[in-house]
C-alpha cells in the first residue's frame, strides 16, 4: 500500500464559518477579507509579516526590509498602512 504525503496545498476552498483573518492566522499568509463560502483562494506559504509603526508606508517598509514596494503593496491588496497593521512580506 502506498501512502501519499502532501505538503500544504497551494489552494484552499473556503468552508462555512471561515473568514480571512482565521485563514490568515492558520496558514501564515495574506488572505483577502471579502471571501465567501465555497470560494477557492490561493494560499501562499512562506510569507513573513511585520507590524507597521507610526509613519510607516509601503515605501519605508520596503526600504527597511529590502523587499520591492510594489510586491508588498500587491500582497496586501493596496490597502492603506496604519500603525499596528499587519503587513505581509514576500518569502525570502
pLDDT of 45-88, one tens digit each?
A: 778 889 999 999 999 999 999 999 999 998 888 889 999 999 99
Between the alpha carbon of residue 30 and those of residues 2, 5, 59, the distances in Å are 34, 25, 19
Topology annotation, domain 46-92: Membrane-bound Lytic Murein Transglycosylase D; Chain A (3.10.350)
Q: Quick one: average pLDDT of 24-42?
A: 83
In the chain, domain spans = 8-45, 46-92
SS (H, E, C) the chain: CCCCCCCCCCEEECCCCCCHHHHHHHHCCCCCCCCCCCCEEECCCCCEEEECCCCCCHHHHHHHHCCCHHHHHHHCCCCCCCCCCEEEECCC
Amino acid at each position: 500500500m502506498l501512502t501519499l504525503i502532501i505538503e500544504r496545498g497551494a489552494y484552499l476552498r473556503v468552508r462555512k464559518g471561515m473568514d480571512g483573518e482565521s485563514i490568515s492566522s492558520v496558514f501564515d499568509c495574506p488572505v483577502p477579507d471579502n471571501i465567501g463560502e465555497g470560494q477557492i483562494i490561493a494560499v501562499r506559504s512562506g510569507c513573513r509579516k511585520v507590524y507597521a509603526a507610526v509613519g510607516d508606508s509601503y515605501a519605508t517598509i520596503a526600504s527597511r526590509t529590502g523587499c520591492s514596494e510594489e510586491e508588498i503593496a500587491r500582497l496586501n491588496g493596496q490597502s492603506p498602512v496604519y500603525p499596528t497593521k499587519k503587513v505581509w512580506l514576500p518569502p525570502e
